[in-house]
């Protein structure tokens, strides 16, 4: 395996060091051995809805149904053998955990995934099916993170932050690289923000290729920690009440935040009801299944459709891991 310019970082190092565009290009070469490109489809039905030329990046077609798998594989592909022998631990609301579980199975590494007690059962079952040791500890993601770090220390496992790891960000950023290879004249890219790795990667790639591309981050108004941190350029925690677990973060990750401070053009908040409507629209207009976080970019585009008239836009449909209960709620 060729050498990367990055190696897995400690938490302290991660707060000040981010990946470069060269690291994203290297990640694409690594991932080519393990993942196919996901499609970028144009949908005239969404054109009519938004008054723009709309392309959807189908990360819900990934093997785990979410974009995070790009980061998990890139991270574990570079993990030194002594750390592979220890095993890894992480905390997740679901998709990041699936990415680590998938990559750990791929490379033969033990993985402990700590999730909230009310975690999406579809995602929990998927992680278990991939061979991960899934532990439901803590009432929310922030509690799961604290318990995960404690378990990693007690059991001698390599702790993997779901946001403050350069190799994760470089890996997930390849989705935007593929978008701009397929449609280099895209003018606006909408990307959901939970921890912020996907948006940080999207901003890095878009601004490296064409600074005129507008990148818009989207978070749930019921869980606005990342938005508040981005707006103030300072750490902010907040209450996290959204039903969209992919966006349910009560505290920001500072590495992606610092990248977003430099490159993100705009940051929108969407209501849970707007995401439910967007899930329905994806089902009706696109014939595809989106989880609420994955539908957030469509909800945001509808919010500012007057600003998008005649533009070519890309919506990153980050995942499709919706539970039956969530889907029923959206269809009601």
The per-residue pLDDT of the chain, averaged, comes to 94
pLDDT bin (cut points 50, 70, 90) of residue 151 is very high
Residue 324, both tokens: 């039956």
pLDDT at 167 over 70: yes
Kindly list the domain boundaries of the chain, sorted by start residue. 18-67+167-331, 69-165
Rg of the Cα trace of the chain?
A: 18
Q: Quick one: which of 144, 177, 131 has its CA closest to 23?
A: 177
pTM score, whole prediction? 0.94
- Summarize pLDDT for 291-316 with one digit per residue, the tens: 999 999 999 999 999 999 999 999 99
Q: What pLDDT, on the 0 to 100 scale, is given for residue 56?
A: 99
CATH number for the domain running over 18-67+167-331: 3.40.50.1100
> Could you give the 3-state DSSP secondary structure of residue 163?
coil
- Mean pLDDT value of segment 34-47: 98
In this predicted structure, the answer to whether residue 7 has a pLDDT above a threshold of 70 is: no
Per CATH, is 69-165 categorized as 3.60.130.10? no
Task: From 38, 90, 111, 74, select the one nearest 320 (Cα to Cα).
Answer: 38
The predicted pLDDT at position 14 comes to 41
Are residues 16 and 261 in contact, defined by beta-carbon separation less than 8 angstroms?
A: no
pLDDT for the residue 262 = 97
Contact 109, 61 (CB under 8 A): no
Confidence class for position 17, pLDDT limits 50, 70, 90: confident
For 181-229, write each residue's pLDDT tens digit: 999 999 999 999 999 999 999 999 999 999 999 999 999 999 999 999 9
| Cα–Cα distance list, 14 to 17, 178, 198, 259 (Å) | 5, 26, 16, 12
Measured in whole angstroms, the distance separating CA 180 from the mean position of its chain's CA atoms is 18
Matching residue, tokens 């500890």? 137
**For the segment 79-118, what is each residue's pLDDT rounded down to a tens digit?**
999 999 999 999 999 999 999 999 999 999 999 999 999 9
Find the helix packing angle between 21-31 and 69-77, rounded to 10°.
90
Q: One fold for both 18-67+167-331 and 69-165? A: yes
């Amino acid at each position: 395996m060729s050498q990367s310019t990055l190696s897995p970082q400690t938490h302290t190092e991660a707060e000040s060091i981010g990946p470069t565009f060269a690291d994203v290009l290297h990640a694409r070469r690594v991932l080519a051995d393990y993942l196919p490109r996901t499609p970028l489809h144009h949908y005239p039905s969404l054109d009519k809805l938004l008054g723009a030329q709309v392309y959807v990046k189908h990360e819900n077609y990934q093997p785990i149904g979410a974009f995070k798998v790009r980061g998990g594989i890139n991270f574990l592909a570079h993990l030194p053998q002594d750390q592979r022998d220890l095993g890894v631990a992480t905390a997740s609301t679901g998709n990041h955990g699936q990415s680590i579980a998938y990559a750990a199975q791929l490379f033969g590494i033990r993985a402990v995934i700590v999730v909230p007690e009310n975690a999406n059962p579809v995602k929990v079952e998927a992680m278990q099916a991939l061979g991960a040791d899934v532990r439901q500890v803590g009432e929310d993601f922030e509690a799961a993170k604290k318990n995960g770090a404690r378990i990693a220390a007690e059991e001698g496992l390599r702790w993997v932050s779901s946001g403050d790891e350069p190799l994760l960000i470089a890996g997930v950023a390849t989705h935007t690289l593929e978008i701009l290879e397929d449609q280099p004249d895209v003018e606006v890219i909408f990307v959901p923000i939970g921890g912020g790795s996907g948006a940080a990667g999207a901003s890095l790639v878009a601004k490296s290729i064409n600074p005129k591309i507008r990148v818009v981050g989207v978070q749930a108004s019921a869980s606005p920690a990342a938005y508040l941190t981005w707006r103030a350029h300072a750490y902010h925690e907040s209450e996290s009440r959204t039903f969209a677990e992919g966006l349910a973060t009560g505290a920001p990750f500072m590495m992606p935040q610092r990248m977003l401070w430099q490159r993100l053009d705009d940051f929108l908040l969407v209501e849970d009801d707007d995401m439910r409507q967007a899930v329905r629209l994806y089902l009706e207009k696109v014939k595809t299944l989106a989880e609420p976080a994955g539908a957030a970019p469509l909800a945001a585009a509808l919010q500012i459709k007057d600003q998008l008239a005649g533009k070519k836009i890309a919506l990153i449909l980050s995942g499709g891991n919706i539970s039956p209960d969530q889907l029923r709620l959206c269809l009601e």
